[in-house]
Amino acid sequence: MALEIKASFEPLTTNWREALRFVAILRRFRHHLRSQAGPMLLAVLASLGFTLVTLIEPWPLQVVFDGVLLGQPVRFLGIDLNALVGGQPMLLLGGAAAAVLLLAVLRGQLYYAQNVIAATAGIDVVMAVRRELFHHLQALSLAFHRRARSGDLLMRLTGDIVMLREMVVAAVITLLTQGLVVIGTLAIMINLNARLTLVAALVAPILFVILSIFRIRLVEAALRQRKREGRLASTAHEVLGGIELVQAYTAERHEDERFKRMNKRSLRAGVRVTRIEAQLNRAVQISLAAGICCILWLGTQDVLAGRLSPGELLVFLAYLRGLYRPLRQASKLTQRMAKASACGDRVLEILDEVPDIQDPPHPKVLRRVKGRITFLHVSFAYRPNEPVLNNIQVDIAPHDTVALVGPTGSGKSTLLALIPRFYDPQLGEILIDDVSIAEVRLRSLRRQISVLSQEAVVMGMTVRENIAYGAIGQKRFPPDDARIREVAEAARAHEFIQELPRGYDTVVGERGGTLSGGERQRIAIARAFLRNAPILLLDEPTTALDPVSSKAILETLEILTWKKTTLIVAHQLTSVLQADRILFLENRVIVEDGTHESLLEKDGRYAEFFRTEWGGLNARHAKDRLSVVESLRRSDRP
């Protein structure tokens, strides 16, 4: 018995929890709502006017029916309308018709003002939330973005946030308006006939139970639907982003089938939501129809018994319709709010994600640094108990070029990623000019660093804007055309840029897809020239290039690294020969440290690696290359 009672109250308890969650979502965005207090107040005032007009609208019906058709005395707000028109029914009819028209115009204008103002305020709130979410996504660490699905994030940033407008407009405006209509209508109906009003009001608790039960099912179904739509969008984004791989492996049919399966799951989730909505509407319509039937039966008996005039019954039925209209709309509101709550949860899930990398409470600010980099007993792991770097201890002098060499998976790229704090080590600390980077404002730290990776990142905007990206945060931003051309020439990119359809104003494809690998890398180098940061991190930017492009890029990098502290992950001998110093990493630690010649003389792990990887290159080539680099270093200008 106790279990049955508990089960009977479970929907109401769950609905109460859902209401609290809804309030929590609104509270989370209260600072955005507060900024729209003025427009929301105007919308509320329009809602009050709309409510008042709605409550007055049924009265002309009684005037026409009782005063004109039946010739009975009619009073409104204590005024004898028959005496007001001198007992002429046609004037009474004309006045009633004019009142209907005037009320309809007023009602339409107030409805327009209420909805337009509320919608505008809702859009402004949505835009503010979208900006907050976008800003927060940029602040989240690389670890988050590498485990998240970009398509799903885009769904949250676009579709889910738009649904939040339902919460803003529906919660603040619709609920208030409809609540006022219900309260005012009940007050007038009680004044007309308290017994019939009590019967009509009995439908409300029945509807409340129905809405409570269906809301739980709707929220669960809507959340499942949004998740499946997010997975679908993420899959489409991945396939289109990797279309070269798909076509190269003739995987179009395979991807079609995979997309078809996911599309079916999304469709089934959408159909389930629609089915629940239809069931809810059916239950609401039947409940309201039962209430109207009861009022018709009892009201007609009151008219026949002389306790109610026919006009009063018509007015009561009109108010009953006005009472049930908000209740009927409550079912639709429940459907929209269920979807909006599910979307709100998905947005908050991201906003509540705490960035792994944050500024310290009282951060120091780095100005133009000399470039000394010190690792003090640094250990790092992406996953617990799986270390990638272990007790790294090294000091790099300003303006030195240091090559990181070692087998795949030895932690070379990870070591680079720790310097701009893309990740934080679990143990130890990293110093720049004897200042711990954990104590420094992230923005000021990263402005001291330029990063060039194997895959140059070029965005889908003009070549000029891609190069100018390097000057963000500098006093002269955006840089003038002369400066853009200067760094492009230094990066040996000017010639191919001039050959593009619109030169520097050519819009490149997404991720630079309309450019070759070498062209993308040269734009990235021009961007680094413009940034002119004292620390340069190179994650072997020539690995994916052909020999001709690779040679041109390396010659350009010799100029770029001039008087900069440079760390380069080296997979090619030419990159190693540029270095003042070589760190050989293996099994998560630095096993050897020295110059190319000293490590060869030592005949240790680096010498073995050199013979294995670059044994086909003769010593004369290496010696000639070293001679060129040394002569370049001895010169006064690059």
List the domain range (segments joined by +) for residue 462.
Answer: 454-532
| Residue 386, in any domain of the structure | no
Which of 336, 351, 366 marks a domain boundary? 351
In the predicted model, is pLDDT for residue 636 greater than 50?
no
Residue 13 lies in a domain: no
- pLDDT tens profile 352-403: 888 888 888 889 998 888 999 999 999 999 888 888 999 999 999 999 989 9
Q: Answer whether residue 59 shows pLDDT above 60.
A: yes
Q: Which of 351, 381, 408 is the last residue of a domain?
A: 351
Same-domain pairing of 110 and 246: yes
For 225, the 3-state DSSP assignment is helix
Up-side HSE of residue 492: CA atoms within 13 Å toward CB? 15
Do 458 and 333 share a domain, yes or no?
no
Q: Give residue 406's pLDDT band: very low, low, confident or very high (50, 70, 90).
A: confident
Band of pLDDT at residue 625, cut at 50, 70 and 90: very low
Asked if the structure places residue 582 within a domain, the reply is no
HSE on the CB side for 498, CA within 13 Å? 7
> Residue 214's CB: how many other CB atoms inside 10 A?
23
State whether 339 and 480 are in the same domain. no
Listed residues 473, 497, 532: the one ending a domain: 532
pLDDT of res. 335: 61
271 and 149 in one domain?
yes
Per residue in 432-477, pLDDT tens? Answer: 999 999 999 988 898 898 888 877 778 778 888 888 888 887 777 7
Please indicate, yes or no, if residue 409 is contained in any of the structural domains.
no
HSE-CB for 297 with a 13 A CA cutoff: 8
Report in angstroms the alpha-carbon separations of 126 from 129, 165, 353: 5, 6, 19
Tokens representing 273 are: 């939501």
Number of domains the chain is built from: 2
- Verify that 198 and 313 share a domain, yes or no: yes
pLDDT cut 70: percent of the chain above it: 78
Residue 504, domain CATH: 3.40.50.300
Domain annotation covers residue 371: no
User: CATH number for the domain including 244?
Assistant: 1.20.1560.10
Burial of 542 (0-12, 13-18, 19+ CB in 10 A): buried
**Residues 536-582 pLDDT 10s:** 898 877 665 666 666 777 777 777 888 889 899 877 777 787 788 99
Q: Which pTM value belongs to this model? A: 0.68
Q: Is 299 exposed, middle or buried (0-12, 13-18, 19+ CB in 10 A)?
A: buried
Provide the pLDDT for residue 626: 47
